[in-house]
Structure 1
Amino acid sequence: MPSDLEQLLDMGFDGERAKLAAKATGSLQDAIDWLEKNQDSSIDELQAAQVSASTSDEPPALKPGEEAHSLVCEDCGKKFRSQAQAEWHASKTEHTNFAESTEEIKPLTEEEKKQKLAELKEKMAAKKAAQAEQDKIDRKKNEQIRMKQTKETQELKEELQKKEQLKEMQKKKQEKLDEAAARKKVLAKLEADKLERKRKAEAEKAVRAGRAPPPVHEPAMPTSSGPTTSKPASAYTETRLALQTPTGRVMKIFPVETTLFEVAHSLEESGVQVNSFTQNFPKKIFDKTDFGMSLKEAGMVPSAALIIK
């Protein structure tokens, strides 16, 4: 007669699970019940449970020659072939009400085995289908989470790009403003240089003609009552001198309180010996006896052309 293990293998059960079921039970029917009960547990979990369980935790199989008495649990109605199996049930469930039964637990017929197997397979298939459906739901949720994260990441990236673009636009705008200001400054400098060259040319022409150079005009402060006017000589703090020396023409600017002696000393530091200053217009000669006069006192404000002798 085939063993319980062989019958379980013939019924299509997994080899490892069938071995564990045959070892844990004492009959084919109990083995099938055990497989049904533990169908959700993995092989590793079942093996670990058997290793860690004590001998008293295992429902012992019927001993050779032991009569097949039937015991029934009055708490749940489950029937057992032996006293040991009933005690194992009590240790696992804490059921305490058992009674003897004259009903003999008969072995499963082939038809019952097939029906039991079909039921077990149907339950396993239903469980797999439920698990597959749950996996489908979980995948859908995970995909939704992933899509949401991707969208948030893309929105954040676009926001950063917008900020960078705005920053770049502001930078370019500022660069254009700075460039325009620099261009304006250069044009103003060119215009000022042009006016200065014109003024110098007129001053040189006046010196050659023996006339006083034209005064240096500074912009007058605008008033609300009439046109602008030039500042009086007393308002100037500096004077511009066109000095014709034996070695060439020199332009110098001095404070109006500078004395002719200080002007002469400044020229002598450059290697020009000064004995007198001659002004052609109006005609005046300032010798060393006059060197104590300031430029303001000599009437050389705001400008004058002098010939060095």
Structure 2
Amino acid sequence: MASSDLDTLLEMGFLRDRAELAVKATGNLQGAIDWLDKNQEKSIDDITQEQASASDDAPALAEGEVPKSLVCEDCGRKLRSTAQAEWHASKTGHENFAESTEEIAPLTEDEKAQRLQELKEKLALKRATQAEQDKEDRKKNEQIRMKSTKESQTIKEELQKKEQLKEMAAKRAEKKADKDAKERVLAKLEADKQERKRKAEIEKAKRAGQAPPPAQAQAPLATSSGPTTSKPASAYTDARLALQTTGGRVMKTFPVGTTLFEVAHALEQEGLIVNTFTTNFPKKTYDRTDFGMTLKEAGMVPSAALIIG
């Protein structure tokens, strides 16, 4: 093979060791190009071992042989001699050849340029196809990654939702416990109030020299100031609030379904700024995150003393 063909292969970007093997194995530029395309996936060691084991380098023309061309009817390749046809058959497995009176002339510069352009287009097409395949593979890998990420996010969100439900249940249980405790305290305060009232009436009767009031008189009756009889909170429709502000004590009455937010809004209409409500006993502060609770839910029925903060 002429050194110019080897140089052409090198200019096209093929590695020298592969280009030299292709030149040696084929004997012409187009054959070398086909050989490189066919063996591009093989390593140099594999190619060398195959050539060593086969020992089938194309033989030279026999002495005195008249150059005549042969055509491989299986692939259309033109060959200079019978020996080259046999070598081609051993390489490709092709079996059908025909004689031709056409003499294989060396490629002209224009033909070489055309072959080179065809090869470049072929290589460009192959690289573009490979690039498209690589792009598709990356797209599939990204889809797999996104699916995995989405599944992980879904699992994480479900776990977070379960934790939120647990926290909400725990808060509801805590609020119910606080409410029950507050109702017990209010009931105790109410009982103490009635007991003090009964004792005061007895002392008053003694000072006046009168007989103590009958036992039934000890049960307090409802007055204009508000209900004083002992009955469950669910029986009340209004809540009486004693509100301690910076300007003094204010008494207000609201329906039991009124929210703390509505109470705060009503006070703000009177010029009071409300950020929190605080009870002294049991000690508890309701901030704006609790303002969605009604007076009944907050345990402020039938009455409550609140400090405005």
Normalized against structure 2, the TM-score is what? 0.50
Normalized against structure 1, the TM-score is what? 0.50
Bigger radius of gyration, 1 or 2?
Answer: 1
